[in-house]
Structure 1
């Protein structure tokens, strides 16, 4: 998930050997554009790109190598296409406005309630977000969580995972209790997180959204994010292996990005 270029080219071969020896079906990495050739020589392909992801200067590539070609085939390509088509139609339209619930930055004291929310919404998740200890550890490192309260109850949440070196952030971990879904909670959280990102002088925002989810893809399309590609059969979430769509948005002007380097 974070490559140190000094480990090249050996790290590319080491990843391949680990996958081959353990019978893995897909290898995955997020790298700078300049580092792609080392992986391409081993048959890695880029499934998604985020322009200006690295310090507002160069693109970030999501690259993959399939050791089992069956995994390269999306399970429901028709639904994935339908999601992208509808998202394109909805781009630029006004999002659903939620009621005037309080949106706040969550702190260490909210970790137990936040973990309980994630545990209720997701049957499985790529990271142990249902563990309060994991939540606290991430808060103390590079992740900021935001939540929506209704009658003092946490009903929706999301996080901004910041990469200070690359000057970008992943907008992720969106979760809303079933009875509050369809009321614009995710869109409202995204707006608040974007403002926080601007205050931190970040250049680029991105997300990795479930490719079969109409709701989350439309949220990002409406917010002006551009489609960057689909990661096939990439993530174990909500009880199954799913393909994921990458969306991105540059929030710093090119002039500001150049001045910051």
Structure 2
């Protein structure tokens, strides 16, 4: 299936949305508040016209009421995500009520119990020497890694051209090599307006898992984005993955909520957990 479309809309072309049949949703990724309240109605019209089953939005807390008044419900909250001062709120509205039903609720609770039991570690104790910054020359190998690890993904990370384009604009990629081969990678997606970074796109080849690669990558990314002046970080992690949720818990991230049946990843729609952390010294 073709990847969903990412497009700029609104009065000044500053609001960014993603939509399409792969994730079966309209996702408001970046809001220009000058487009309120009309953008909310436009999202619903777009969703209904295309038969999508979910509307999903990430907005600063002060803008949430407009969405709540139009039938959205809060699904997660990330304190300090907006410029370190206000929460980022994740909201959902279901155009098909069946999509809101979670068949994996018990599994998600168990994953969160496992993560909650983890001890937070000092980032200075994490060895990041093996982590390197990736650039356009690594795009082909990086895309091949993502293609190997994921049966499906919400963004076309298996496309080298897409990776190069995001590297030029707003995404930092990092990797770990073994014997000259890229075996693990991740990215930090930078939002200069919000002063935050999304820690995402974690992938490790099966034979190199359970060796701490994700934690090393995450710690290196935190150091890099903190040096650039970003004050907070968050992730939208697979809710049924004990490994990834535990990584963020060990790194001191705070659980913010679960997004039901939100993202097409690893072959189907999955619920996702939001975790956030202040990067202030």
Q: Matches of residues 106-145 of structure 1 in structure 2 within 5 Å? A: 106-145=134-173
Q: CA deviation at 1:74?
A: 1.4
| TM-score, structure 2 as length reference | 0.86
Q: Matches of residues 1-261 of structure 1 in structure 2 within 5 Å? A: 1-92=29-120, 102-253=130-281
- Alignment partners' CA distance in 2, 1:202 and 1:240: 33
Shift in CA distance, 94/252, structure 1 to aligned 2, threshold 3 Å: closer
Secondary structure of residue in 2 paired with 1:117: helix
Shift in CA distance, 55/94, structure 1 to aligned 2, threshold 3 Å: closer
8 Å CA contact retained: 1:98, 1:184: no
Q: CA RMSD in A?
A: 1.7
- Alignment partners' CA distance in 1, 2:57 and 2:127: 40
Structure 2: gaps (5+ residues): 1-28
8 Å CA contact retained: 2:145, 2:182: yes
- Alignment partners' CA distance in 1, 2:139 and 2:205: 16
How many residue pairs are counted as aligned between the two chains? 252
8 Å CA contact retained: 1:101, 1:150: no
- Alignment partners' CA distance in 2, 1:161 and 1:142: 6
Structure 1: gaps (5+ residues): 254-261
Secondary structure of residue in 1 paired with 2:110: helix
Secondary structure of residue in 2 paired with 1:27: strand
**Higher RCO by CA contacts (8 Å cutoff, separation 6 or greater):** 1
| TM-score, structure 1 as length reference | 0.93
- Alignment partners' CA distance in 2, 1:100 and 1:70: 43
8 Å CA contact retained: 1:115, 1:131: yes
4+ residue stretches of structure 1 with deviation over 4 A? 97-101
